[in-house]
Every structure is written in structure tokens, then in C-alpha cells.
Structure 1
Amino acid sequence: MKTDKASILSKDGVSYLIPFVLITSCFALWGFANDITNPMVKAFSKIFRMSATDGALVQVAFYGGYFAMAFPAAMFIRRYSYKAGVLLGLGMYAFGAFLFFPAKMTGEYYPFLIAYFILTCGLSFLETSCNPYILSMGTEETATRRLNLAQSFNPIGSLAGMYVAMNFIQARLHPLDTADRALLDEQEFEAIKDSDLSVLIAPYLAIGLVILLMLILIRLVKMPKNGEENHNINFVPTLKRIFTQSRYREGVIAQFFYVGAQIMCWTFIIQYGTHLFMSQGMEEKAAEILSQKYNIVAMVIFCISRFVCTFILRYLNAGRLLMILAVLGGVFTLGAVFLQNIYGLYSLVAISACMSLMFPTIYGIALKGLGEDAKFGAAGLIMAILGGSVLPPLQALVIDMKTVGGFPAVNLSFLLPFICFIVISWYGYRTIRNRW
């Protein structure tokens, strides 16, 4: 009798363990990129003496790359293979990381945005390839569970990214706070900026080397070709076919709002905590580092919750669990808005427990039954990551108001993630009602 684990990673007597491990490692690698980048919104704002809104352009460039390259990635994968998509994605990831060096040499902000954009074009290829590839490595009945298992390793990379951001970037930046930097003359400002940028780019150059090694390893290993017999693109007819399915169409919308909520909660926890701790008399740099520690706690909770929720999926319908967690996420978000003390920050951290299941579950529900169309369906869901580009700048605009009617704007800004959780809970409800 087969074990439950074997049934997840095998099909028709063929084991996919080694390919699964290699492709799952890519989930950790793009998790690293995502979560070393979130704190950089605050770091770039300080280094270049910019507003939170200008700093949030990092997220526009980062998640804009996902949006721009998703369907080109799907067409490339359809024409060639999942493995080719993974290799090209890793190559662009490494190239974007290495571009941080010439960006630093210019001393300007916008070359960094170009580097982020190219890096995430690579991540778009990776996610468009890896997610459906994992779904294909076994039976359709176990596909959502298999993807949840693979996605469970994504927050491990995220934790590594957060740790590196805190200890190798934030802690090593010049201790001058934002207010004092504004008083520097041009020569002093340029000297400190150059030093800070040297600190900032080092981890990106290091991860670029790691990505190159991973590219070589996957290139040398024989990988399966599951559902890759058809290389006809048929772009427009395929899009029309998949978007006529409400399960898929609404899944894309839900994914847009989920990614937006995730990036807002993990990016602006730094601003939220910094505001709270500085109001208690703490210096800005110490407040930022302490806030990042809370962000790491949130990711640890996210990681643990992902494994727990993957286990619960064995007994509870995916749509029902999605709805329950979205409702709880909305409740905790209201806590972050209205509790102007440490309990508000605790509420913000707790949201991560609710978000852990959402991305792979929405993904799995939306792609169910698409068959060969899953390659283009995956691209639409990766394009929905645009939510991480569109919504954080809106939250930054609110944060830059400082106060709204005497209420801290940073607290009030979390009404945007609350709206996102309402949309996600509705998709979960629709999944239950329609038996998707």
C-alpha cells in the first residue's frame, strides 16, 4: 500500500522526488528576493532622502516585472518546456542581482528600479514555470496539497531574506536618522549615501552567485516533461477559454488582492513599528531594527502556519479554510488599525498566520481542471501579483499624510489590507457555494 507521501510525489508508478526537491528550492529563492526587498522601501527612502511614496516605487518596479513578463513566460514555456522556463528565470534573476553593482556606481535611485524590474522578470518566469510544474508532478487529486507543500518552503527563503536585510543591511547603514540626514550638506550626503549603497548591494551580489550555481545544477539534472506534448501557443483562443470560467476569473481577482495585502502588511510593518516605538522615545534606527524583528516573527508564524494549514487541508475543504482565514485576517487588520499600542503591532504580526495558506490555495482552486491551459492560467495568476505593485503605493500615500483627523495615518492605512481580505473571503465563500 502506498504511503500518503508517495501518492503526493508520484504518478503512474513514477517518483518525482528529486525534480520536486530541485523545483521546490526555487520557491525559497524567490521568497528570499521578495523579503529582502520589502525593508528596502524604508532603506531607500532614508538613503536618498525620499518620501515613503517615492520609496514604494521599489515595489512598483519589483511587482511590475511579474506583471510584464507573465504571459511572455507562459508562451515561452508552451513553446519549449517548464525546465527551459526555470533556467531562463534563474538567469534573469542572477542578471538583475548583478545589475545592483553598476546601479550603485551611478549613485542614482532609478537604476536600482531597473535592476529590480529585470530581477523580477526572472522571478515571473520562475513562478509561471514552477507552480504548474509542481501541480503536474503527481495526480490532480493531490495537486493543491502538493503545491501547498512546495510553497511551505517559500517562507524559509523569506525568513533568510528578512534576516539578511536586518543584519547585513539595516544594522550596517549609517546611524544618522532621517531628520538629521535632511540637514547634511551635499558633500556629506553623497559620502554617506555611497557608503550605505555599498552595504545595500552586497547581499544582492551574493544571491546572484547562488542563483548561478542553482541554474547549473538544474541544467545538469534530467527533469520530467509532464503535459508538455502540445507546443501550439493559440494565445487568444486559450485566454478566451480560461477567462470564461468564473472559478479562474474570480481567482485572478482574489490573487490580486491577496498579494496586495501580503506586500502591504510585510512592507509597512516597518513604518508601523517605527512610528509606535519612536512615540515611546526610541531612536529611529533602533525602532526600525526592532520593527524588522517583529517582521521576522511574523514570517516565522507564516511558515509554521503554512505547514499546519497544509495538514488541515487533508480534512477541510480548501475554499472553506480560505474563507475562515480571510475573515480572521480582516479581524486582525482592524486590530492593527484601531489599537494604537503594542497590541496593534501584535495584531499586525498575527495577520501572517492567516495569510499563509492563501496564495497556493487560490492558485490551486483557480487552475483546477484547466489541463494544458494551466500554463496560460498560471500566467494570469502571476500577473495578478501586480497587486503588490499597485496597492502598496496607495498605502504609502496615506502614510505620508502623517495624521488623518488626528488619527495616525500609518494605522489608518491598514484599512486597505482589510478591504483585500473581504474580497478573498468572498472568493472562499464562492468556492464553497459553487463546489469548485
Structure 2
Amino acid sequence: MNTNQSTPVVAKSVLVPFILITSLFALWGLANDMTNPMVRGFQKVLELSNTQASLVQLAFYGGYFTMAIPAALFVNKYSYKKGVLLGLALYAVGALLFYPAAANESYPFFLAALYILTFGLAFLETTANPYILSMGDEATATRRLNFAQMFNPMGSILGLLIAQNFVLGALQSDDTAADGTPIYDTLSESAKAAIRTSDLQIIRNPYVMLGIVVLVFFVLISVMKMPQNKNQESKVNFTDAVKRLWSQPKFSFGVIAQAFYVGAQIMCWTYVYQYAETLSINAKSAVWYGLAGYLVFLVGRTVGTALMAKIDSGKLLMFFGIGGMVTLCGAIFLPGMLGIYALVATSFFMSIMFPTIYGIALEGQGEDAKFGAAFLVMAIVGGALLPYLQGYMLDFGGTGYEDTTIAGVTEMRFSFILSLICLGVVAFYGKLVYKKYHKHAKIEFMKTYRHCFSCDLKDDAELIAKYKEYHAPGNAWPEITKSIRDAGIVDMQIYLTGNRMFMIMEVDETFDPTKKAQMDAANPKVQEWEQLMWDFQQGLPWAKEGEKWIALEKIFQL
């Protein structure tokens, strides 16, 4: 049944906390996309190669990989709110460290500051994403996260505007003569040193201001009473949760798809400036193409979120992945300005990918979601490794961007083959999810039937508690839940009073109990589960020998 139409995406009771947590999406978007143009800024000021400059992204996104699991362990021990507060504290410290980094004029110091800053972002993303998912019905969780993530590109746009107007446009190291020759390259070492000091202070200032803003958010959230989801915030054994998560292909492949998606996004958004340079567009003007990409991304997120109410999320992910591959082909092979237009258009198709992969991978994970979220945040390391690989490709023929040709195009254009491959992985994941997990669950237009059964548990408090633990969210064996769905069972709920259980089973028109029994008899894992359950269950007093679940007779219907 389609519950998305009647269930509110955000309940009024959690609206204010939802707004506060959603604001964090804009806050880390600002940091992410104020940093992307800085790759070129550091490259100019400190005279770095493409590979050296890409260390900015390695430090920035490497912080996510380092801190995601510690963040999840912290949240598991304490709470989502405390995780958010620690994330904000680390974010502020990293941003404020730009002040001594500029004073020392040390590139490694800047990288260390970014690394610590992203410790905070890892905490925020590991915490805020599942927190948003938990603020309401699971049926609307992916839409709720897509809505919250709409504010991420708003922060990205603000970050880009700050980079353009207060950093890139003000850097003296990027000044050119009337003939287009870089002035900085012709200066003496003493003149370069003076400009370097001034430019590094310019890079420093927006980060210091950002650190102060983050501290304000820290105070606001610390005094606000935040909701708790008892299921999501219960204590979970880390090792057991990890085993359950990685035994599910939908989750494990989701982490891989997320790594490739983030890599594609960061490559497209980082190297659009160098791409523009090959078209004789200066740094300040190139920012407008980055800004256009973010605006297109925001439009795509809005359109995609609306479409998700009508189209399966896996299918939509597949379509958007294919669309992105088409535009990247244009970025590689279309001549002149058409290429950069195609590169900008890619942002439309990337727009829904992060929250959609995130939501799909965490579907039904229950209390394991906090650790699942950590692995999905760790996947952001794709944004550290793949841009570094693209920078390495750009250095093939020299430090320029058009030193050689590959497949008839410059190395700058050809290097986007990496992003094309990444979006191919995402499209394949979307297809897998739709075909294997979602297609058979979409029954909006199919008639369903409901059956009720009853069975007793052995009258032992310890056994009953253990039985309930086996059936807690995320604990049931994945092979069992798969066998249930494969048989045409749409929904199954079990209720308990004392030691008597009642099962409500909803099936579609294809359900055949005889076929289900045959499938179960041929499945060793199902047989193992059934044998295990007999340790807890017993037949009703009037049941025949060996009989457990007995069908109930319907005697009234409203």
C-alpha cells in the first residue's frame, strides 16, 4: 500500500528540532564548497602541482573516513544530540586553526586544520542524516532526507559566493597582465613572499568567521530540547551490527555506490575551474560556472524529491545515473563552451544521489542505522581519492591542462572519464535496488489479502525476552526476510500478549501457500530458523501435534 500520500513527511511535534538539524546540512555544504575553489587558490599562491593541490581534497574528505566510525560509536554510547554538539565543536576548532596556519604560512598546517574541521563534519553527517531519517515514519524517511538535503546546496551556493567575492577575486597571485600572462610568475622572491602573506590571510578570513558562526549554532542546539527515537538511540553491539549490515548486498553495495558518487561530485565541482581555464575563462568568472552547477543541483534536488513521490527511488536513481553519464560524455567530447555547459548540467543528475543512496541503504536497519550511517559517511573518502587520481591524470603531460591528447581530446576533458565510470556504478546500483528489492514491494494497484494466525511461546520470561530480541528491527536473518518477500508476502506483523502471539500477514494476488511451503522446505536457512524458533514456541492447547501457527477465523468486519 502507498502510505507516502497520507503520512506527513515531518510531524508538527518535531518541526523546530527538524529545522535546526536541517540547518546543519547548509552549514557543512558551505564548508564543502567554500573549500573546492580553494584547490586552485592554494595552487596559485603556493605554486603547487595539480597533484599537490589535490591534497586539499585528500585532507578534507579523508577526515570523513577517519572519524565516521568513532562518531557512530560516540552516538551509540551517548545520543544524537551530543554527537551533533561534538561535531560542531570540532568544526569550529578546525576553522579557527586557519588563523595560526596563515600566520605560519604552512601548507601542511592548512591541511591539518581542514582535516580537523572535517572530523566535525563527519560527526555531523554521521549523526544528522540518520537523525533526520528517524524523525518520523520510515515510509517517508527517504523523502524526508531528500528534503533536508535540499538545504545542503543552498549552503554550497553561499560557500561558493564567499569564495568568489572574498577570496578568489581578491588574490593578487592570480592577477594577469594585459596579454593574459600571470604577473605572479614574473616577480622576485621577496615580492612573491609579500603577496603570499597577503593572499593566505585572505584565504584565512572566511574560515575564521565560519568558526564563529558554528559556535553560535553550538549554543543554540545545546539549549534546545531535542527529540529522542528510542529504537534508533538504543545501545547496539558494534560487531553484531556490522555483521548484520555487511551481510546485506543492498547496504554493502550502497556504501560502494556512495563512494563513487561522492568522487564524481567532487571531481566535477573541483575541476570545473580548471576546465574553464582551458576555455580562457579567468578564475573569478569561472566561479559563475561553479555557481550554475549548484543552482542546477538545487533544481535537480527539488525535481527529484517531487518525482520520488511517484517513482520508485531505485528506478529514479538509475535514470539520473544514466542522465549524468550522457552529460559527462558531452563534457568530454563536445567542443568549446558546449563541453562546460554539459559539465554544469551533470549536477542536475547528481542532485538526488547522496540522500537517495543513503536512504535506500539504511531502509529497515532500525537500531543498526547509526553504524550503517557511519560507513556511508566513510564512503565520502571517494571525494579524497578520486580527485587525487584525476589530478595525477592531469599531470601526465606536464603541469598544464592541455599538454597532451587522449582519445582525440585534451587530458583535461578525458580525465572526466573517471566521473563517467562513477555514475555508471551509481546507475547500476539503482537498477539492482529496483529489480531486486523494490519492484515486488510496490503494490499500490494490486489487490491484497490479510490472514491472521496465533501461536504460543513457552511460558518463560527469559525465553520470551530472547525471542523478542531475535525479532527486533535488523535482527531477523536477512535470508528469512528475503524468503518471506519472495513468496509474495507484502507485510507481516507479530503481536504479543503474555505468551500468546498473533501474526497479521498481508499477501498479494500471487501468494500461494503450497508454493511457499515448498520454497521453505528447499531452503536450508529457513529450516534452520524454523528449528531454532521451536526452542521458543509451542502449539496452542487445541493444536494438533507438530502444529504451530493456527489460522484465526474472522467473525466480524466493519
Mapping of residues 41-190 of structure 1, within 5 Å: 41-174=39-172, 175-177=174-176, 179-190=182-193
Residue number among 221, 225, 228 corresponding to 1:218 in the alignment: 221
SS in 1 for 2:437: coil
Q: Judge conservation of contact 1:255–1:384 (CA < 8 Å) in 2.
A: yes
Residue number among 202, 218, 243 corresponding to 1:199 in the alignment: 202
Q: Do the aligned partners of residues 233 and 170 (structure 1) sit closer, same or farther apart at CA in structure 2, a change above 3 Å counting?
A: same
Q: Which amino acid aligns with 2:413?
A: N
The alpha carbon displacement at 1:182 in A equals 3.2
SS in 2 for 1:16: helix
Q: Do the aligned partners of residues 182 and 94 (structure 1) sit closer, same or farther apart at CA in structure 2, a change above 3 Å counting?
A: same
The alpha carbon displacement at 1:124 in A equals 0.1
CA displacement 1:90-127 (0-9 Å, x = unmatched): 11001000000000011111100000000000000000
Q: Judge conservation of contact 1:70–1:128 (CA < 8 Å) in 2.
A: yes
**Which residue in 2 is equivalent to 1:9?**
10
Residue number among 18, 32, 35 corresponding to 1:34 in the alignment: 32
The alpha carbon displacement at 1:186 in A equals 2.0
Mapping of residues 418-433 of structure 1, within 5 Å: 418-433=420-435
SS in 1 for 2:335: coil
Q: Judge conservation of contact 2:58–2:384 (CA < 8 Å) in 1.
A: yes
Mapping of residues 256-271 of structure 1, within 5 Å: 256-271=259-274
CA displacement 1:9-46 (0-9 Å, x = unmatched): 12xxx721001000000000000000000000100000
**Which residue in 2 is equivalent to 1:361?**
356
**Which residue in 2 is equivalent to 1:284?**
none
Which stretch has the larger CA shift, 303-312 or 410-419? 303-312
Q: Do the aligned partners of residues 432 and 231 (structure 1) sit closer, same or farther apart at CA in structure 2, a change above 3 Å counting?
A: closer
Q: Does 1:241 align with 2:244?
A: yes
Q: Does 1:254 align with 2:254?
A: no
Give me the whole-angstrom Cα distance separating, in 2, the residues matched to 1:340 and 1:102: 45
Give me the whole-angstrom Cα distance separating, in 2, the residues matched to 1:144 and 1:429: 17
Q: Does 1:333 align with 2:335?
A: no
The alpha carbon displacement at 1:227 in A equals 3.0
Give me the whole-angstrom Cα distance separating, in 2, the residues matched to 1:385 and 1:61: 12
Unaligned runs of 5+ in 1: 279-286
Which stretch has the larger CA shift, 160-169 or 303-312? 303-312
Which structure carries more relative contact order (alpha carbon 8 Å, separation 6+)? Answer: 1
TM-score by length of 2: 0.74
Q: Which amino acid aligns with 2:268?
A: C
Q: Judge conservation of contact 2:232–2:367 (CA < 8 Å) in 1.
A: no
The alpha carbon displacement at 1:397 in A equals 1.2
Give me the whole-angstrom Cα distance separating, in 1, the residues matched to 2:7 and 2:19: 14
Give me the whole-angstrom Cα distance separating, in 2, the residues matched to 1:423 and 1:48: 36
Q: Judge conservation of contact 2:7–2:140 (CA < 8 Å) in 1.
A: no
* Structure showing the higher helix proportion among its residues: 1
Give me the whole-angstrom Cα distance separating, in 1, the residues matched to 2:311 and 2:4: 20
Q: Which amino acid aligns with 1:251?
A: G
Give me the whole-angstrom Cα distance separating, in 2, the residues matched to 1:387 and 1:64: 9
Q: Which amino acid aligns with 1:109?
A: Y
CA displacement 1:256-300 (0-9 Å, x = unmatched): 00000000000000000111125xxxxxxxx11121101101101
Q: Judge conservation of contact 2:232–2:370 (CA < 8 Å) in 1.
A: no
Give me the whole-angstrom Cα distance separating, in 1, the residues matched to 2:392 and 2:360: 34
* Structure showing the higher strand proportion among its residues: 2
Unaligned runs of 5+ in 2: 397-402, 439-558
Q: Judge conservation of contact 1:136–1:227 (CA < 8 Å) in 2.
A: no
Give me the whole-angstrom Cα distance separating, in 2, the residues matched to 1:99 and 1:44: 16
Give me the whole-angstrom Cα distance separating, in 2, the residues matched to 1:376 and 1:19: 22
Mapping of residues 294-333 of structure 1, within 5 Å: 294-333=289-328
Give me the whole-angstrom Cα distance separating, in 1, the residues matched to 2:299 and 2:80: 29
The alpha carbon displacement at 1:230 in A equals 5.7
Q: Judge conservation of contact 2:79–2:233 (CA < 8 Å) in 1.
A: no
The alpha carbon displacement at 1:236 in A equals 1.7
CA displacement 1:322-381 (0-9 Å, x = unmatched): 000100100100110112300000000000000110000000000000000000000000
Q: Judge conservation of contact 1:81–1:228 (CA < 8 Å) in 2.
A: no
CA displacement 1:200-252 (0-9 Å, x = unmatched): 11111111111000110000110011136765452222111100011000000
Give me the whole-angstrom Cα distance separating, in 2, the residues matched to 1:260 and 1:86: 25
The alpha carbon displacement at 1:309 in A equals 0.9
Q: Judge conservation of contact 1:93–1:121 (CA < 8 Å) in 2.
A: yes
Q: Judge conservation of contact 1:260–1:389 (CA < 8 Å) in 2.
A: yes
**Which residue in 1 is equivalent to 2:409?**
407
TM-score by length of 1: 0.94
Q: Which amino acid aligns with 1:266?
A: W
CA displacement 1:135-190 (0-9 Å, x = unmatched): 00000000000000000010000000000001110001104358543333221111
**Which residue in 1 is equivalent to 2:389?**
394
Q: Do the aligned partners of residues 304 and 5 (structure 1) sit closer, same or farther apart at CA in structure 2, a change above 3 Å counting?
A: farther
Q: Which amino acid aligns with 2:73?
A: M
Give me the whole-angstrom Cα distance separating, in 2, the residues matched to 1:192 and 1:299: 31
Aligned length: 424
Give me the whole-angstrom Cα distance separating, in 2, the residues matched to 1:58 and 1:145: 33
Give me the whole-angstrom Cα distance separating, in 2, the residues matched to 1:6 and 1:244: 31
The alpha carbon displacement at 1:304 in A equals 1.5
Give me the whole-angstrom Cα distance separating, in 2, the residues matched to 1:271 and 1:399: 10
**Which residue in 2 is equivalent to 1:282?**
none
Residue number among 312, 315, 337 corresponding to 1:342 in the alignment: 337
- Of all paired residues, the percent bearing the same amino acid is 49
The alpha carbon displacement at 1:400 in A equals 2.2
Q: Which amino acid aligns with 1:311?
A: A
Larger-gyration structure (1/2): 2
Q: Judge conservation of contact 1:93–1:120 (CA < 8 Å) in 2.
A: yes
The alpha carbon displacement at 1:404 in A equals 3.0
